[in-house]
């Protein structure tokens, strides 16, 4: 069966791409062979069993861990190659990955695809690190600032405006998420600019890009709206290594 496709830059952010089902085993990042297990198989505390449509970046968001941490804990030589049914350590409160239970192993194997389950997840704690990426961002909308980053209750910058105003990519990059599955963010777009840097555009009315699209700085990616919130605004975040950082350091 074909391995999960990987971007040229296998950094902290990865995107699961389309694949198909097969009866053949999938080769793991360690060089061994793995077969998928039933979705309802027992999962020990502190671990996560990979589901269809997931990738390591989204799993990290769900458990407040960075991809680099998950890769280290699970000895993943290639973070872009995880398989449905694979058991991953996701908590600091366990010492090592348990030996996999092969009882009731399914005969069919499956790979992840880009039809994500889009689970409700929480974000990592904010950080106040300065811009170390040499990436300069453009403001994504022309509206005034309603609320600024404070490292606590607001992990980004809230911009005002009118419903339907253009929301533009703050820098060139690749769309790694477009959907409404992240609780509290409404219709959301995330764009990756480097292996460690991405920007977040929340509460959009309409989204005009899809996962995998390459966008240019200043290209419209959505229109401003009020999904997931009580008024029209754009909530904009900058994430460095999975942590929220002050967008004002990047203008």
CB within 8 Å of 201: residues ≥ 6 apart = 140, 167, 188, 189, 190, 191, 221, 222, 234, 235, 236
CATH class of 145-249: mainly beta
Q: pLDDT-based confidence at 161, cuts 50/70/90?
A: very high
State both tokens at 1. 């069966």
23 CB-contact burial (10 Å; exposed 0-12 / middle 13-18 / buried 19+): exposed
What ranges do the domains of the chain cover? Answer: 1-117, 145-249
Chain centroid to CA 182? 10
12 pLDDT band, cuts 50/70/90, is very low
State the sign of the Cα–Cα–Cα–Cα dihedral 126, 188, 171, 214. Answer: positive
**Rounded to whole angstroms, how far apart are CA atoms 124 and 103?**
35
- What is the pTM for the complete model shown? 0.59
CB 47 within 8 A of CB 86: no
The yes-or-no answer to whether 1-117 and 145-249 have a common fold is: no
Q: What is the pLDDT of residue 121?
A: 37
Residue 105 Cα to chain centre, angstroms: 29
- Residues 206-245 pLDDT 10s: 999 998 999 999 999 999 999 999 999 999 999 988 788 9
The CATH number of the structural domain formed by 1-117 is: 3.10.350.10
pLDDT at 145: 97
pLDDT tens digits, one per residue of 104-117: 333 333 333 333 33
- How deeply is 108 buried, as exposed, middle or buried, from its count of CB atoms within 10 A (0-12, 13-18, 19+)? exposed
* Cα–Cα dist 31/220, whole Å: 42
């Amino acid at each position: 069966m074909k391995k999960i496709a990987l971007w040229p830059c296998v950094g902290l952010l990865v995107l699961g791409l389309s694949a198909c089902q097969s009866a053949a085993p999938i080769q793991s990042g360690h060089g061994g062979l793995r077969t998928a297990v039933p979705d309802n198989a027992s999962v020990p505390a502190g671990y996560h069993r990979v589901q269809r449509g997931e990738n390591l970046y989204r799993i990290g968001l769900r458990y407040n861990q960075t991809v680099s941490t998950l890769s280290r804990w699970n000895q993943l030589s290639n973070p872009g190659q995880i398989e449905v049914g694979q058991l991953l350590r996701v908590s600091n409160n366990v010492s090592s990955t348990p030996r996999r239970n092969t009882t009731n192993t399914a005969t069919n194997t499956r790979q992840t695809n880009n039809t994500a389950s889009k689970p409700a997840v929480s974000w990592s704690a904010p950080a106040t690190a300065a811009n170390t990426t040499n990436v300069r961002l453009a403001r994504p909308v022309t509206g005034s600032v309603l609320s600024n980053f404070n490292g606590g209750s607001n992990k980004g910058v809230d911009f005002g405006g009118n419903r339907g105003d253009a929301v533009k990519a703050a820098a060139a990059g690749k769309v790694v998420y477009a959907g409404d599955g992240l609780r509290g963010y409404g219709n959301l777009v995330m764009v990756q600019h480097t292996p460690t840097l991405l920007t977040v555009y929340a509460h959009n009315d309409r989204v005009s890009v899809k996962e995998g699209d390459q966008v240019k700085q200043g290209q419209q990616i959505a229109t401003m709206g009020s999904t997931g919130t009580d008024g029209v605004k754009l909530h904009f975040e900058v994430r460095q290594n999975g942590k929220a950082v002050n967008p004002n350091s990047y203008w």
